[in-house]
Amino acid sequence: MIERPPMLGDDVREELVASAASAQRANRPRYLVYAGALTLVLASGFALARLWERSVLAGELDTTMALNTQLAAKVGELGEAQSIEAMLGGAERLAPDPRLLGKLSQLAKDAGLTVNQEAESDDSRPSPKGVGRKTYTFMLANQPAESVLGWLKKVGAEHPGVQVRRFEMRPDQGTPEGKPAWKVDVVFTRWERKV
């Protein structure tokens, strides 16, 4: 036969339940939960402060990198302009000369040539910042070859920054004296500083 445990009275049972609840509360102290929650809040605040500081520093870094890129581009442009300047003989050779077309035309006349057509224009090819090229186009007809070549030689000697970009010589009718003559198209180009 199975023995039944003795029946406890309601008072004893309530005392045991209260005692067990008290023991359970004593075994789970709430201050540890509060301390953990406070630590979590502080760590979250610290992490948010670091993230904000990081975003501010990243913005400053982006700004500094953009300035460095602009500075490097300016230094590159300056170096390119200085190398062109040095290649062409210095800053004085790059000074704009608004009367150069007339000077070249006068040299042709001094060489005994008759200029049929002359024009000055800006060269459309890309060039470094701060400098550009001017082109000077001359068309001559029925001219002796010796005079044309003498003119080209004088242009190179008197205007060292001027270069021949295109030179085309084709036979023409001839002079009244019966000498051979030529149709000539010449395009000169010159680097100059933009103002």
**Is the domain of 120 the same as that of 171?**
yes
**Is the domain of 83 the same as that of 105?**
no
Domain interval for residue 44: 8-87
**Is the domain of 44 the same as that of 133?**
no
Residue at 178 is within a domain? yes
Beta bridge partners of 117: 139
| 103: pLDDT strictly greater than 70 | yes
**Is the domain of 68 the same as that of 103?**
no
Tell me the pLDDT band of 5, cut-offs 50, 70 and 90.
low
Number of domains the chain is built from: 2
Q: What is the pLDDT of residue 45?
A: 92
pTM tops 0.85? no
Give 93 or 53, the one with higher predicted confidence: 53
Residue at 81 is within a domain? yes
Residue at 72 is within a domain? yes
Question: What mean pLDDT do residues 159-165 have?
Answer: 87
| 62: pLDDT strictly greater than 80 | yes
Neighbour-count burial for 7-32, b at 16+ CB within 10 Å, e otherwise: eeeeeeeeeeeeeeeeeeeeeeeeee
Residue at 39 is within a domain? yes
| Residue where the block lists tokens 């605040």 | 45
